[in-house]
A and B are shown apart, each in its own frame.
Chain A
């Protein structure tokens, strides 16, 4: 258990250093795969319930089966999995960016209810920074403004949940929110992995699989139609 925590801490530290490096230089990595891999790893780190949800449940005494049953994500807190899969890459990144803002506000409010030093907030900021870089890379412009989302993402627009009147309800509400947060990050990671898989399949020139995938999904990244050169994002 301690070793796992240590691993997570180290990984988090590495990611934060990567983030700080990017922020410090003020430049985004121009390597699509490197950036994508980093996003996947960050999403994997943030989807882990042992980083936020489990400590919160332990700290608030919500570990009884009755309360666990009601510690669930509320509809509308985060975009659904289907909605995320349907989004284009630009829209997906925009939705991710917007949701991360909500998450940051919630984490800030939760700060005193969480165990002492959590790196959640820094992780979210780092993730958001890489999303920004990815959006910039996908838009093909070095101008950060070009990466700004132009269209609002589909699905419910996340709003900060209204604080419940009583402490007990707030505990349950926060619990459900954190569960949704981890679920959302897990889904985001899967979507990001889907980008990589699709890229790999495209490299192997497997049109059959692409067609099947296209048949399964309503809008399987229609803008990615051709193989991008090595080290360059697909346009």
Chain B
């Protein structure tokens, strides 16, 4: 007992100094073991959450401790994480710590343990770790169902650019699992027997609805959706303003959308008042101004999403950020031609604040007036110096007058001033033509510019005043928009006034004087060159009292009618540049413009001063003259191009080039120079430098040589096209001599032939007529002359036919004859039968004296067939028999009847009548003696046969069997002589 008491005392004594020291510093380390370690899994965040306590009954003060935490995966020995967590620990404090796993926690069992160490300066070293706690197991697979396949993490929210690990757990080891990331088959890393992991680095945003990752075995596919968010950007251009000092509006640019359905949140925090508000919009937030007259605001805008928090701050003075609302009810009132009053209203700011409003007047889009007006509620301003009939725009904006920061939005209103009378006389010019000595004046005027018209021009008044008869006035009203009118005058002098009228009144008058007689038009035309600016020209004044000058020309002079243009110039001008007016046709290169310069006298009379022609820019001729070639000899030819118009050319024709190409390649002749064409062919060129020369003789050529020539004009810009060479070949040297001899000879022969041809009928009639005219017969003349001066031509009525030959001819024989044209010699065998009209004497064979009687039935066709005297006559039958006719009347009647039938009534093939008479040969002399010889065909030349022969009877092919002829022979005694 005593011993116990001693020990107790000793222990207390020993403890006493320790206790004493403890009040100052801890004398030795305290290995405190963590207690109640609890590990839980947060699947959403894929975190292991640790919770534990440190029980130390001896310490009541706070002190710093270090907790070393160890995490293992799949098995305790597989440590994957070691971390020291330092914190200040109170007594019996419950401590928390979280760890985010890259690998989804569902795919692996995790083990956690920890130990502690006091890390406080009050406790001296050495500091020792406590013992490890026991391993705590975190197994998420326990909560899984019995599906054969699981894919984790579910609905993982990741930020673009981060790394993600996805895993699957397959309960069926035999199953062949294929995994896809957005349709692409991918291969993972096996972590455990039934766990595979897929690591995706730097993931990118694909769509708002997430990136699909899925695996498929035998059953349905299992997958996860990775919700990839774009990086939240810091708000830009953060600013605040107020329109009415009651509500602040802060705006910013949120930047790019994060791409998720869940939008980031925006919160506005004001540090002075400590208030904050959650913004309803992603780019704007409203803040109610309190009534405690807070003027300064320190705003912080915080943008926040799952991954990031961005903030931006501004210090804002309420008064300095007033942006008034746009004014309203802007109206023009009392608008006249030159003045207008505009009114508008503004939204008031506070009770006593004024607004500074800016009124702008715009004309044709430009600000022409600007006025600043202080306005409380209603604004009004009188705009002056306006132009009549002009459209203006008035616009107003306002700013806070106490401290200008920003103009409000603009409001605008258009208005048009009223019309006024035209302020300027129209620019008038005239064109005078004289028809039958009377001047016809065409008046032209330019429409007044908008500035001077002061309204819409309705019509033009033209007043024609005859200066010789002051009382006669002629007034014409020409409705707009006409710009010309024509007036016919007599040979008096006139003054013409033109005024333009709008709805308000007339313009000042423009006067033109017209003389009744044509002026001097014989002014020589000068030339000038155009420039880029137009046509510069100058002139010499004729009189000192000129009141001005007018230059006139035509637009598009190549087209008719002329569109007259003119330019008025003051009396001091003696030069000008005529340039294209923007609204008119522009001067064009290659077009000849003719200008006429007039001097205007004090009486407004125009006198022609000068004529000028020019090109804005000369061009090379567009075509060549049409060249005629003449006088071709063996050594020369002449070229001429008389009708080539030079006025319509594209430049002033300065001359012509004559190109000559010879195929023999001979040297160029005198005056020609060798040149090369564009096709590299060599050519000789002659230059005619006189544009009026339009004839050229090409000389010194070689006979019988081929040449090509071309005539082309040239201007200052170049020559015409070289593409139309014409060919010519010089003749033989002596050919012209032959031509001089042979041609006249040929001509002479030809003339003779023509004369012979023309006179052939005459010669024939003279020399060898087909049918002799008894009156013209030489025989008759001989008879008259030698025997009986009283002899006359026998009248057929007085004659008795001595024989009638009736010919029966088959129809076909006629055609045969005509077609074959057999000669009369072929008809020898033909034996016509003769019908005796008179009693015949046997054995009488001699030809009786034949008497010629008048041929009253002449068949030209027969004569043309050449049956002159070749008619067959039977030797037994005398051609002529003398004796009285038994019945002359009957015979004649019969003859006439047969004759008529032969003309057409007797059909072909029937018996025809051949009426033959024979004239006694004047050479026989003995009419009584019978013919010793039968008549020969040759004797017919001595006879004149007259006959009526239908064509059918003339057929020599008539056969004897088919022919039936009868001949009535005349009795020679009964024939008239």
Q: Which residues of A come within 8 Å of B, CB atoms?
A: 59-64, 66-67, 70, 112-113, 165-169, 171-172
Contact = CB atoms under 8 A, between A and B. Distances in A.
A166 B214 contact: no
Given A113-B209, A165-B154, A166-B224, 7 more contacts: A59-B209, A66-B183, A66-B221, A67-B214, A166-B225, A167-B225, A168-B222
9 contacts: A59-B207, A61-B209, A61-B210, A112-B261, A167-B224, A167-B227, A168-B222, A168-B223, A172-B221
Given A165-B154, A167-B225, A70 B220 contact: yes
Given A61-B209, A66-B214, A67-B221, A166 B183 contact: no
Interface in B216-247: 216, 220-225, 227
Contacts of A167: 154-155, 210, 224-225, 227
B150 to A, nearest CB: 10
B209 A64 contact: no
B225 to A, nearest CB: 4
A167 B157 CA distance: 12
A59 B225 CA distance: 13
Given A66-B221, A70-B221, A168 B212 contact: yes
Contacts of B223: 166, 168-169
A166 B209 contact: no
B154 A66 contact: no
Nearest to A165: B154
B178 to A, nearest CB: 8
Contacts of B211: 61
A112 B261 CA distance: 9
A172 B180 CA distance: 15
Contacts of A172: 220-221
Interface string B68-86: 0000000000000000000
Nearest to A64: B183
Contacts of B155: 166-167
A67 B181 CA distance: 12
B216 A168 contact: no
A218 to B, nearest CB: 34
Contacts of A169: 222-223
Interface in B138-169: 151, 154-155
B100 interface: no
By CB atoms of chain A within 10 A, which of B154, B155, B207, B212 has the most? Answer: B212
B221 A61 contact: no
A172 B224 CA distance: 11
B704 interface: no
Given A112-B261, A166-B154, A168-B223, A62 B212 contact: yes
Interface in B89-147: none
A161 B624 CA distance: 95
B206 interface: yes
A64 B180 contact: yes
B212 A66 contact: no
B575 interface: no
Contacts of A165: 154
A112 B262 CA distance: 11
A166 B221 CA distance: 13
Nearest to B208: A59
B182 interface: yes
Contacts of B182: 61, 64
A60 B224 contact: no
Contacts of A59: 207, 209
Given A61-B209, A62-B212, A168 B180 contact: no
Contacts of B183: 63-64, 66
Nearest to B261: A112
A168 B214 contact: yes
A61 B207 contact: yes
Contact of B224 (A62, A64, A70, A168): A168
Contact of A60 (B180, B209, B220): B209
Nearest to A166: B154
Contacts of A171: 209, 212, 225
A168 B225 contact: yes
Nearest to A60: B209
A105 to B, nearest CB: 20
A39 B480 CA distance: 67
B104 to A, nearest CB: 12
A205 to B, nearest CB: 53
A61 B184 CA distance: 12
A206 B225 CA distance: 58
A61 B206 contact: yes
A107 B223 CA distance: 23
B216 A66 contact: yes
The 5 closest A-B pairs by CB, nearest first: A64-B183, A168-B223, A167-B225, A166-B154, A167-B155
Nearest to B215: A66
A73 to B, nearest CB: 14
A168 B225 CA distance: 6
Contacts of B261: 112
A12 B686 CA distance: 87
A18 B214 CA distance: 45
Contacts of A112: 261
A167 B155 CA distance: 6
A66 B180 contact: yes
B312 to A, nearest CB: 30
Nearest to A63: B183
Contacts of A62: 212
A196 to B, nearest CB: 40
A163 to B, nearest CB: 13
Contacts of B220: 70, 172
Contacts of A168: 151, 154, 212, 214, 222-225
B573 to A, nearest CB: 67
B520 to A, nearest CB: 77
A60 to B, nearest CB: 5
A66 B224 CA distance: 15
Nearest to B216: A66
B224 A61 contact: no
Nearest to A113: B209
B37 to A, nearest CB: 30
A59 B154 CA distance: 20
A62 B223 CA distance: 12
Contacts of A63: 183
B299 to A, nearest CB: 32
A61 B212 contact: yes
Nearest to B207: A61
Contacts of B210: 61, 167
Nearest to A58: B207
A45 to B, nearest CB: 26
A58 to B, nearest CB: 9
A173 to B, nearest CB: 11
Nearest to B153: A166
Contacts of B224: 166-168
By CB atoms of chain A within 10 A, which of B180, B222, B225 has the most? Answer: B225
Nearest to A62: B212
Contacts of B154: 165-168
A165 B43 CA distance: 13
Contacts of B214: 66-67, 168
Contacts of A67: 212, 214, 221
A115 B225 CA distance: 19
Nearest to B182: A61
A72 to B, nearest CB: 10
Nearest to B155: A167
A167 B182 CA distance: 15
A118 to B, nearest CB: 15
A67 B949 CA distance: 125
Nearest to B221: A70
Nearest to B223: A168
B902 to A, nearest CB: 100
Contacts of A66: 180, 183, 214, 216, 221
A54 to B, nearest CB: 15
A168 B220 CA distance: 12
Nearest to B152: A166
Contacts of A70: 220-221
